[in-house]
Amino acid sequence: MIDIAASMIQLEIRIPEQERERVRNLAASIGRIRAELASGAAPHPGPAGPGEALQAVPLLREMEDAVSLIPEVFAGTRSLDAYAPSQPGKRPALSLFKADALTNPEHIRFALKGCLAASLCYLIYNGKDWPGINTAITTCLLTALTTIGSSRQKQVLRIGGAIMGGVVLGIGGEILILPALDSIAGFTLFFMAGTIIAAWFATSSARLSYFGAQFAVAFYLINASEFKAQTSLIPARDRVIGILLGLAMMWLIFDQLWGAPAAVEMKKTFVSNLRMLAQFAREPIAKDMRAALERNHALRETINTNFDKVRALADGVVLEFGPSREQDLAQRSRLRHWQVQLRILFIGCTVLWRYGLPLPGFELPAALEAPRLEFDDRLASMLEGMAERLAGNEARKSEDLSAAYARLEEAAANLSPDKSERLTPQVQSFLFLSRRVADLAGALQQEI
């Protein structure tokens, strides 16, 4: 924000000197707050701005308001929940199981597949009297996920971590490094090197973190299972063989019995997110602030969770093979592209929600209430139509937000019939954001 303000001054934008001075003051305030935070001190409130909207820099007042609220965060100001009326709410009862744990056939099938794979591993290593490969059961339990692609992704990370930590560094260290060590100091350095490598992977992104965890477990089981240097290669061999047995059972059972492709689940989750966002667009329904805040929080958490789920499932689609692989990869590419647009649309709807409650600083004139509700309803209908088309249901008539936005703009223009008064900053920001949301939703509808 400081760089933006400085660039505006350096580029000699043609704005009045009074407004240029306010830009300089804003940059100075941000610099002061940044310096106080860097020194470990709480920011002190600065002088209040003039508080009037500007024509050359229409968002300057909003920037000043945002900067002025930063010190209040560190002063212990109340949250939004504190402004809601005190009402005893009903807390959901805690439970160890989901509500449909015993009735949903998908849960039952998943449990049967996991139990069958683990039971086959148990019978095999007991029949062979080979208890060292009991890691096969652990592999079944840890890599049992709801879709084929997600399970394979975790299985690849598990076997990769076991081979690198157990075979390459574990067995390789026993053969090449440990015979040359004659003190605890040398073993400590070797142990630290393995731990650093495992920690580097374990603290990386979600795509590789499990590899680091398995790398560390395999390395520790070989070199830190006893209070002495390990000289036997049998533990590392048995662990890797056990993991391979578990993976074979998982690929056999989870691929052939009630398989759930990640591509199908990815599409279902994206469609579900469109419907959830349609509900969010119609919010707030309740006029009670506490109820509206709680419902808003629940919807936002669900939508964000679905965003993360779609991204994780996209990684699993790459590991699925079959006659429909090319089609699934093409669909994966489209959904990932649409998700970026949907995220931006979700952020815009999150801000528009504040005008509907309304929260302090987001008040709108009463004349805009009816066109605002119409705009929100049309937006929700557009999102529901996209969801129906993606789900393969009967296509709805395409919605057009331009007419609803035109009525919203007309109502805002009628606030000052003689055009002598400019629109308030809240109305200007609301119209700009509504226009942006309408453009995003229209572009997404055309692609879907």
Tell me the C-alpha distance between 334 and 317, whole Å: 13
Task: Look up residue 59 and give its DSSP letter.
Answer: T
- The mean pLDDT value of the chain amounts to 78
Band (92; pLDDT cuts 50, 70, 90): low
Q: In terms of pTM, does the model score above 0.95?
A: no
**Mean pLDDT, residues 83-97:** 52
Tell me the C-alpha distance between 99 and 96, whole Å: 9
Q: What pLDDT, on the 0 to 100 scale, is given for residue 144? A: 75
Q: What pLDDT, on the 0 to 100 scale, is given for residue 89? A: 45
Using DSSP, state whether 1 is helix, strand or coil. coil
Tell me the C-alpha distance between 231 and 179, whole Å: 9
- Give the CA angle between residues 129, 130, 133 to the nearest 5°: 150
**290-326 pLDDT, tens per residue?**
888 888 888 889 998 888 888 888 888 877 777 878 8
Band (80; pLDDT cuts 50, 70, 90): very low
**Mean pLDDT, residues 42-54:** 61
DSSP per-residue string spanning 100-152: TTTT-HHHHHHHHHHHHHHHHHHHHHHHTT-GGGTHHHHHHHHS--SSHHHHH
Task: Look up residue 176 and give its DSSP letter.
Answer: I
**137-184 pLDDT, tens per residue?**
888 887 777 676 777 777 788 888 888 888 888 888 888 888 888 888
Which residues have a Cβ under 8 Å from the Cβ of 271 and sit 6 or more positions away? Answer: 387, 390, 391
C-alpha pair distances (Å), 213 with each of 137, 165, 172, 298: 18, 10, 19, 32
Tell me the C-alpha distance between 131 and 124, whole Å: 10
Q: What pLDDT, on the 0 to 100 scale, is given for residue 419? A: 58
Q: What pLDDT, on the 0 to 100 scale, is given for residue 322? A: 75
Instruction: Inform me whether the pLDDT recorded for 244 exceeds 90.
Output: no
Q: What pLDDT, on the 0 to 100 scale, is given for residue 56? A: 52
Calculate what percentage of the chain has a pLDDT beyond 70: 81
Residue 27: CB atoms within 10 A of its CB come to: 19
Instruction: Inform me whether the pLDDT recorded for 87 exceeds 50.
Output: no
Question: Residue 284: is the preceding peptide bond cis (ω within 30°)?
Answer: yes
**341-394 pLDDT, tens per residue?**
888 889 888 888 888 877 777 788 888 888 888 888 889 888 888 888 888 776
**Mean pLDDT, residues 88-116:** 71
**Phi–psi pair at 101, nearest 5 degrees:** -60, -35
**268 alpha carbon, distance to own chain's centre:** 17
Q: Please classify residue 244 by burial: count the beta carbons closer than 10 Å to its beta carbon, then call 0-12 exposed, 13-18 middle and 19+ buried.
A: middle
Band (252; pLDDT cuts 50, 70, 90): confident
Identify the residue with better confidence: 399 or 284. 284
Band (84; pLDDT cuts 50, 70, 90): very low
